[in-house]
Chain A
């Protein structure tokens, strides 16, 4: 299972802290470009809020468009983190080691980005304070006794997203303490102080390590249910809408969760490949890791496909005219039918065909291509669920219409992608995206078993 030559701590520190201790030349240039895109997107959003929603492509039947699609997409990406770090931690998979932290941090940032979407998509964002303060603990406005309406999925959403965001941030910080200690010992001046603060005087004695390890497992077990609930609740935004026939389907919760894992894990694989490329971490993010991710993705994708087929079959099963109308719109009306074909091809058939061949799994270029098309496909999936359902709501054919996104919406969507990349790049400058101690642990635990003439790679396990 394990490949690559053994490494000692000095080397691990030197090579993995390269992203922090000395930043490459292109760094600030890339940051500036991304920042500019984000600025443009922000000004576009400001323009939209100032002018009103007329500047978007939304209209009366189709009241939700690109923004909600993007919201669901980024929430989906955010499911990679816990999926990988938690499930792989619990199943003690050796190849998780380099992947966990990048995944968790991607979770945090994509969640933050996702949360901006519903806010700017409201008609009066300056009033959303009345809505987004619906944390489990902070219902707004005790004084006037005006409470949030907990009957709506739009209140379940913030509570779930906040829970997920809070717990993943804390999870990341706890797992970072030992690496902060490493940085504390490597830096000087103000950054030394800050890292010292964050490391909280970590010494690395037996007790601290023991609890660190337990924390990893325990927190994973606790966050997993949250991670499932978050995307289920996002899906219930649609599932609860009884008037939109194609949304009101019981399978939506697991269907969305599996789809989220599908897109999220591919996104993590992509991030890992990019990190390996820009920081030269060939010794840490090895082909075997990407390979394992791809094999995991085959299973996830097939599960997703099962749910997709269920959803479509039972869409037709009802034989209700309004639902058939939506399905017709999706599958026969151009250009939607073309988008539909592209989406199914990109999300399932093309990538799985790629992942089935070992040589392709081991080729980073093909892998990154596969991961990108999966995410394009998943973005389309959300779009093709949301818009046709609204465009063919109910049977008052007089009101049927379609949806044409406006430039403003396009700019903002692009901006979110730039924002996430910018945040990832920035954080790579501040914390190590590959957990140092996890790698070192893997190094000391690796051993091998001799069976006859062959030596099989093996690991020490505490139980």
Chain B
């Protein structure tokens, strides 16, 4: 049984206009979540573990050609196609809007990965291994997955829990470490405001292309973006028409109806390619 927690609904905003494709998020994720080192052969076999990956698309013809980057991570869909197909309940949707994976239950039918439109679910094809020098680098908060099970982005749930513990027990700001005044030390996790809890990728993004917060949390811009995205869906339901040119907000594969908890902001083209 799932214990009822505070009504968080986590969400991430990816601003493609800021993304430079520097792969810092990928490395940070790798380090934070005990992901095995991706050697060359993994890439060649298309078996690299990347909970978040930077997809690179070329636009235009040589010579005037542009590289476009889009970071793809688990979209934590509300209607996640991967969830209901698991025979052993190894993945389900918790009440904080996060699509969680239970490593102990997973038997590796790989149906969830087959049914994931974003192909963000990784399968452990080999027993993970690290060089001796990296033994102490492993994160004690994160399980080391065995071979034969699925894994994927968790929105760094271990950091979430750590942050909760800090807020409610020690009364420390998770990042800055300042004391929280006694009056605001409540047990309802309300202190988990934008910024005092960040996934590794968001924390490491040099251009703030990634933003993360509770979707109800109005202390930051995230809420507005999500409201805009939901508005679009609403107008479509009413049979209205959404003018794509006036909004930057969109969700990946809207038409599949997966209702992701990650929204993307379109790239603004200051110097669009002239039609050659």
Q: Which A residues have a C-beta under 8 Å from some C-beta of B?
A: 51-54, 58-61, 63-64, 118, 121-125, 127-128, 130-131, 134, 146-149, 151-155, 237, 240-244, 390, 393-399, 401
Tell whether A123 pairs with B148 under 8 Å between CB atoms, given A61-B119, A63-B113. yes
> Which of A54, A134, A401 has the most chain B CB within a 10 Å cutoff?
A54
Chain A residues with CB under 8 Å of B147's CB are 52-53, 123
Question: In the complex, what distance in Å separates the CA atom of A393 from the CA atom of B118?
Answer: 9
Tell whether A123 pairs with B46 under 8 Å between CB atoms, given A134-B87, A146-B89. no
Question: In the complex, what distance in Å separates the CA atom of A195 from the CA atom of B233?
Answer: 70
- Residue of B46, B118, B256 near A242 (CB, 8 A) is B256
Chain A residues with CB under 8 Å of B117's CB are 242-243, 393-394
Q: Is the CB of B148 within 8 A of A52?
A: yes
- Residue of A52, A146, A152, A399 near B125 (CB, 8 A) is A52
- Residue of B118, B122, B149 near A394 (CB, 8 A) is B118
Q: Is the CB of A123 within 8 A of B119?
A: no
Kindly provide the distance from the CB of B154 to the nearest chain A CB, expressed in whole angstroms.
18
- Quick one: CB contact mask for B207-228 with A, threshold 8 Å, 1 for yes? 0000000000000000000000
- Quick one: CB contact mask for B72-84 with A, threshold 8 Å, 1 for yes? 1000000001001
- Residue of A52, A124, A130 near B126 (CB, 8 A) is A52
Q: Does B55 contact A (CB under 8 A)?
A: yes
Kindly provide the distance from the CB of B90 to the nearest chain A CB, expressed in whole angstroms.
9
Which residues in window 28-77 of B have CB below 8 A to A?
45-47, 55-57, 72
Q: Is the CB of A243 within 8 A of B148?
A: no
Besides A53-B147, A152-B87, 12 new A-B residue pairs in contact (Cβ under 8 A), listed by A number: A53-B108, A61-B46, A123-B106, A125-B107, A131-B107, A131-B109, A149-B84, A152-B86, A154-B85, A394-B117, A398-B56, A399-B119
Chain B residues with CB under 8 Å of A54's CB are 45, 47, 125-126
Chain B residues with CB under 8 Å of A134's CB are 87
**Which label, helix, strand, loop or mixed, suits the secondary structure of the B interface?**
loop
Q: Is the CB of B108 within 8 A of A122?
A: yes
- Minimal Cβ-Cβ distance residue in B for A397: B57
Chain A residues with CB under 8 Å of B114's CB are 63-64, 241, 243-244, 390
Kindly provide the distance from the CB of A47 to the nearest chain B CB, expressed in whole angstroms.
14
Chain A residues with CB under 8 Å of B81's CB are 241-243
- Minimal Cβ-Cβ distance residue in B for A51: B126
Tell whether A60 pairs with B122 under 8 Å between CB atoms, given A52-B148, A151-B84, A243-B117. yes
Q: Is the CB of B124 within 8 A of A123?
A: yes
Chain B residues with CB under 8 Å of A237's CB are 111
- Minimal Cβ-Cβ distance residue in B for A244: B114
Q: Is the CB of A53 within 8 A of B115?
A: no
Kindly provide the distance from the CB of B53 to the nearest chain A CB, expressed in whole angstroms.
8
Q: Which B residues have a C-beta under 8 Å from some C-beta of A?
A: 45-47, 55-57, 72, 81, 84-89, 105-111, 113-119, 122-127, 146-150, 253, 256
Question: In the complex, what distance in Å separates the CA atom of A121 from the CA atom of B116?
Answer: 19
> Which of A121, A148, A149 has the most chain B CB within a 10 Å cutoff?
A149
Chain B residues with CB under 8 Å of A149's CB are 84, 86-89
Question: In the complex, what distance in Å separates the CA atom of A34 from the CA atom of B212?
Answer: 60
Kindly provide the distance from the CB of A369 to the nearest chain B CB, expressed in whole angstroms.
36
Question: In the complex, what distance in Å separates the CA atom of A121 from the CA atom of B107?
Answer: 10
Tell whether A123 pairs with B45 under 8 Å between CB atoms, given A396-B72, A398-B55, A398-B56. no
Q: Is the CB of B111 within 8 A of A59?
A: no
Q: Is the CB of A60 within 8 A of B47?
A: yes
Question: In the complex, what distance in Å separates the CA atom of A148 from the CA atom of B85?
Answer: 11
- Residue of B86, B106, B113, B122 near A124 (CB, 8 A) is B106
Chain A residues with CB under 8 Å of B107's CB are 122-125, 127-128, 130-131
Kindly provide the distance from the CB of A81 to the nearest chain B CB, expressed in whole angstroms.
27
- Residue of B57, B88, B126 near A148 (CB, 8 A) is B88
Q: Is the CB of B85 within 8 A of A240?
A: yes
Chain B residues with CB under 8 Å of A147's CB are 89
Task: Sample 6 A-B pairs with CB under 8 A, ordered by A number.
Answer: A60-B123, A124-B148, A154-B87, A240-B85, A394-B119, A398-B55
Q: Is the CB of B85 within 8 A of A60?
A: no
Question: In the complex, what distance in Å separates the CA atom of A59 from the CA atom of B42?
Answer: 10
Chain A residues with CB under 8 Å of B56's CB are 398
- Minimal Cβ-Cβ distance residue in A for B92: A149
Q: Is the CB of B105 within 8 A of A130?
A: yes
Kindly provide the distance from the CB of B184 to the nearest chain A CB, expressed in whole angstroms.
39
- Minimal Cβ-Cβ distance residue in B for A149: B89
Chain A residues with CB under 8 Å of B118's CB are 394, 396
Q: Is the CB of A59 within 8 A of B45?
A: yes
Question: In the complex, what distance in Å separates the CA atom of A395 from the CA atom of B255?
Answer: 12
Q: Is the CB of B256 within 8 A of A60?
A: no
Q: Is the CB of B125 within 8 A of A58?
A: yes
- Residue of A148, A240, A243 near B87 (CB, 8 A) is A148
- Minimal Cβ-Cβ distance residue in A for B41: A54
Kindly provide the distance from the CB of B126 to the nearest chain A CB, expressed in whole angstroms.
4
Chain A residues with CB under 8 Å of B85's CB are 151-154, 240-241
Tell whether A64 pairs with B110 under 8 Å between CB atoms, given A52-B147, A398-B57. yes
> Which of A51, A131, A241 has the most chain B CB within a 10 Å cutoff?
A241
Question: In the complex, what distance in Å separates the CA atom of A125 from the CA atom of B147?
Answer: 11
> Which of B110, B124, B146, B253 has the most chain A CB within a 10 Å cutoff?
B110
Q: Is the CB of A242 within 8 A of B115?
A: yes
- Residue of B72, B109, B122, B149 near A154 (CB, 8 A) is B109
